[in-house]
């Protein structure tokens, strides 16, 4: 089995694995305890629905209420377990109810926790979405090239990330970071951004500041954008350590190494004030030659695989 397949399996929804584990444990315990566990199963439904609709605290309280109700019924009605071939001894009966009650509380707590995690995740996405909308409005009004460039880089980067073997959550981080990687250019002089001649040393140093300025713009937004700040901060770092920062190799976030390749590819294949766009094939050769120096060889390999599949062609975004 390839390492990429193993990584994808590892990224399978952890909540699903937890639920499967709970069902497996409950199944084993039900087999070891007694058949009347099926009767008790009806008393789990309130806890399950409570966890699904209201969260951890409500589900845990409902579980305790269900346990209390079962104990009350058993105390006044021993015929609850009369459907089995042999009625268990009182000690065995209460032991089994205690085991069932413990499992019910754990299940309610776990399912309620999953509900709250999902709610927090949705809330975080909503905050991030609103922040991105505000930022992209600035892109649209000030710099059409940067908007289109960032859009294409996001598409290229997510395709490369898929070939690298990233899970869905990390690919979404790549997408967000790529969309916003040049946001700091909003604070850079238009004369420098569109200068047709070679930049002076001072102008180049100011251009480099767009990375830090982008972090300053994004940091207050919060939400899941906080996870992508290190990616944006490192997207101009080179594999051999000769980039904006001295970080090199695996010290650079993998997502940033992916965006670096996508960013250069789009820059080379786009018209700029200081040069004409080159063909995608010429750009591909430059990136291939930069493997091990400017770019992570593993990421370049994924880029080449996507290129061979014709996935490195993206139209401009409609404004």
Confidence (pLDDT) at 239: 95
As to burial, measured by CB atoms within 10 angstroms (0-12 exposed, 13-18 middle, 19+ buried), residue 185 is: buried
293 flagged as catalytic: no
pLDDT band at 215 (very low <50, low <70, confident <90, very high): confident
pTM of the model: 0.62
Q: Is the dihedral of CA 85, 90, 95, 100 positive or negative?
A: positive
Average the pLDDT over 173-202 and give the result.
79
How far is Cα 173 from Cα 96, in angstroms, rounded to an integer?
Answer: 47
Q: How far apart are the first and last CA of the chain?
A: 44
Confidence (pLDDT) at 77: 62
The residue to which tokens 């069902």 are assigned: 23
Q: Which two tokens stand for residue 193?
A: 């951004």
Tens of pLDDT, residues 91-146: 666 677 777 677 778 777 777 777 777 777 777 776 776 676 566 556 555 566 66
How far is Cα 32 from Cα 27, in angstroms, rounded to an integer?
Answer: 9
Looking at per-residue pLDDT, the higher value among 44 and 242 belongs to 242
Helix (H, G, I), strand (E, B) or coil at 55: coil
How far is Cα 250 from Cα 230, in angstroms, rounded to an integer?
Answer: 14
Whose CA is closest to 71, among 103, 98, 99?
98
Whose CA is closest to 261, among 305, 214, 201?
305
Tens of pLDDT, residues 151-177: 899 999 999 999 999 988 899 889 888
- Find the length of the chain: 319
Confidence (pLDDT) at 78: 60
Helix (H, G, I), strand (E, B) or coil at 233: helix
Q: Name which CATH class applies to 143-308.
A: mainly alpha
Q: How many other CB atoms are there within 10 angstroms of residue 258's CB atom?
A: 33
Residue 304 pLDDT exceeds 80:
yes
Catalytic position from the list 93, 142, 185, 284: 185
Q: Give me the percent of the chain exceeding a pLDDT of 70.
A: 68
Q: Mean pLDDT in the chain?
A: 75
Tens of pLDDT, residues 51-98: 767 777 777 777 777 777 777 766 766 655 544 444 455 566 667 777
Residue 227 pLDDT exceeds 90:
no
pLDDT band at 22 (very low <50, low <70, confident <90, very high): very low
In the chain, alpha helices (H): 3-10, 14-32, 37-41, 45-54, 56-76, 90-142, 144-164, 168-180, 190-193, 201-208, 210-218, 225-234, 254-268, 280-289, 297-308
């Amino acid at each position: 089995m390839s390492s990429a397949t193993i990584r994808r399996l590892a990224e399978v929804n952890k909540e699903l694995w937890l639920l499967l584990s709970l069902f497996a444990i409950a199944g084993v315990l039900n087999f070891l305890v007694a058949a009347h566990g099926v009767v008790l199963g009806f008393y789990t439904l309130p806890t399950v629905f409570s966890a699904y609709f209201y969260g951890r605290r409500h589900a845990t309280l409902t579980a305790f209420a269900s346990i209390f109700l079962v104990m009350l019924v058993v105390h006044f009605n021993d015929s609850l377990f009369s459907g089995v071939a042999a009625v268990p001894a009182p000690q065995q009966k209460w032991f089994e109810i205690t085991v069932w009650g413990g499992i019910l509380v754990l299940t309610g707590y776990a399912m309620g926790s999953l509900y709250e995690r999902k709610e927090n995740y949705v809330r975080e996405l909503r905050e991030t979405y609103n922040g991105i909308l505000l930022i992209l409005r600035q892109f649209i009004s000030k710099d059409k090239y940067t908007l289109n460039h960032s859009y294409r880089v996001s598409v290229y980067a997510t395709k490369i990330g898929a070939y690298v073997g990233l899970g869905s959550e990390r690919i979404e981080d790549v997408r967000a970071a790529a969309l916003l990687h040049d946001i700091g250019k909003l604070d850079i002089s238009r004369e420098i951004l569109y200068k047709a001649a070679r930049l002076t040393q001072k102008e180049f140093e100011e251009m480099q500041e767009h990375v830090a300025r982008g972090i300053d713009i994004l940091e207050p937004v919060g939400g899941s954008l906080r996870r992508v700040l290190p990616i944006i901060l490192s997207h101009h770092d080179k594999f051999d350590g000769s980039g904006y920062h001295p970080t090199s190799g695996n010290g650079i976030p993998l997502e940033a190494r992916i965006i670096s390749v996508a960013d250069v590819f789009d820059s080379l294949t786009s018209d700029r004030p200081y040069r004409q766009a080159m063909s995608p094939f010429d750009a591909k050769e430059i990136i291939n030659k930069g493997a091990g120096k400017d770019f992570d060889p593993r990421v370049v390999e994924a880029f080449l695989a996507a290129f061979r599949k014709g996935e490195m062609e993206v139209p401009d975004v409609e404004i």
